């Protein structure tokens, strides 16, 4: 068990609440049964505590546990738009090179996927089915693109479309590939997201695509999120800007998941087992 520093007195006025917050603060997220065991109370008590603390903004609830509010709530859209811009652009250009003209593509939501939408200007005659209004706005003017969006509930955090209507719409299509980003990738290959409703629509697109491409810059290998999306064994290629950590790299090689390292000097950065370097990145490096 990691050492836990006692919270400042008076954070909640309840010693058990304070200890619970401190425990989750160390690990980022914990299951209800773990918290019950460590605090010596029943799981029902922990559920009540989490419900109260999440309502007061100290924690964020997810099915079976709780997480730090700061790690479980996705960063503000404005901050995400200016984070890792160079990396997102490199990943977007790399994945755009893998998308064939005259193909059908699922595009999820997120600022990284918005860079993919911009990079698709090199492609022609695409049918694009996206759950992001922002992505649709970037693409709708292309006369050779057929851009489709589902009905449903709009998420203000990223303009993503979720809910039963969106899920039913997506079940009616098959795509050549799906392109998505993720909130975090754990060393055991678990890919995580921030919203259970968004995960539901992403899972349907994954199931209905011949190939699944995931974009994750290096910060996602040490990030935290609370909703399980899928395992890396369920994807075909991981596009990143640096070689993944050794444990994850070995797992990806075992799972025969292609790792595409885009925009990184292969001399300065060790390449993951089985990883390839995007051709555009190699040409750019050679021209420096």
Q: Are 107 and 216 contained in the same domain?
A: yes
Residue 2 domain flag: no
Q: Are 56 and 109 contained in the same domain?
A: no
Two tokens, residue 28: 């980022």
Q: What is the pLDDT of residue 191?
A: 97
Structure confidence by residue, pLDDT tens digits, 120-147: 999 999 999 999 999 999 999 999 999 9
Average pLDDT, the chain: 84
Domain count, the chain: 2
Q: Are 234 and 124 contained in the same domain?
A: yes
Residues 6+ apart with CB under 8 A from 214: 180, 181, 182, 191, 232, 235, 237, 238, 239
**Which whole number is the average pLDDT over 92-116?**
96
Residue 126 domain flag: yes
Residue 3 domain flag: no
Q: 112 and 88 in contact (C-beta within 8 Å)?
A: yes
Structure confidence by residue, pLDDT tens digits, 9-36: 446 778 899 899 888 877 777 889 999 9
| pLDDT bracket for residue 73 (50, 70, 90) | very low
Q: Are strands 127-130 and 104-107 parallel, antiparallel or unpaired?
A: parallel
Residue 222 domain flag: yes
Instruction: Compare 174 and 77 and report the one with higher pLDDT.
Output: 174
**Which CATH number characterizes residue 45's domain?**
1.10.10.10
Q: The domain containing residue 178 runs over which residues?
A: 78-286
**Which CATH number characterizes residue 233's domain?**
3.40.50.1360
Q: What is the pLDDT of residue 82?
A: 53
Phi, psi of 241 (to 5 degrees): -100, -10
- Sequence-ordered alpha helix ranges (H) in 158-269: 164-171, 196-207, 246-255
Structure confidence by residue, pLDDT tens digits, 238-258: 999 999 999 999 999 999 999
**Which whole number is the average pLDDT over 179-189?**
96
Q: Are 94 and 194 contained in the same domain?
A: yes
User: Is residue 4 over pLDDT 90?
Assistant: no
User: Is residue 61 over pLDDT 60?
Assistant: yes
Task: Pick the closest to residue 108 from 79, 134, 86 (CA basis).
Answer: 134
């Amino acid at each position: 068990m990691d050492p836990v520093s006692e919270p400042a007195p008076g954070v909640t006025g309840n010693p058990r609440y304070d200890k619970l917050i401190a425990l989750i603060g160390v690990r980022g997220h914990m299951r209800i049964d773990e918290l019950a065991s460590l605090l010596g109370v029943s799981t029902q008590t922990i559920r009540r505590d989490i419900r109260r603390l999440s309502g007061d903004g100290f924690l964020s609830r997810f099915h079976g546990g709780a997480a730090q509010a700061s790690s479980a709530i996705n960063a503000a859209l404005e901050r995400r738009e200016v984070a890792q811009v160079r990396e997102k652009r490199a990943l977007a250009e790399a994945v755009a090179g893998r998308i064939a003209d005259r193909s059908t593509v699922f595009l999820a939501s997120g600022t990284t996927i918005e860079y993919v939408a911009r990079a698709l200007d090199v492609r022609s005659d695409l049918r694009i089915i996206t759950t992001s209004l922002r992505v649709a706005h970037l693409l709708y003017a292309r006369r050779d693109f057929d851009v489709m969006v589902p009905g449903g509930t709009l998420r203000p955090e990223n303009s993503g479309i979720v809910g039963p209507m969106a899920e039913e719409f997506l079940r009616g299509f098959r795509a050549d590939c799906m392109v998505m980003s993720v909130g975090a990738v754990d060393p055991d290959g678990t890919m995580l997201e921030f919203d259970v409703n968004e995960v539901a629509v992403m899972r349907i697109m994954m199931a209905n695509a011949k190939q699944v491409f995931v974009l994750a810059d290096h910060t996602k290998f040490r990030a935290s999120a609370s909703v399980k999306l899928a395992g890396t064994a369920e994807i075909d290629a991981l596009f990143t800007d640096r070689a993944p950590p050794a444990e994850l790299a070995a797992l990806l090689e075992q799972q025969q998941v292609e790792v595409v390292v885009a925009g990184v000097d292969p001399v300065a950065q060790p390449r993951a087992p089985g990883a390839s370097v995007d051709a555009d990145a190699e040409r750019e490096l050679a021209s420096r």
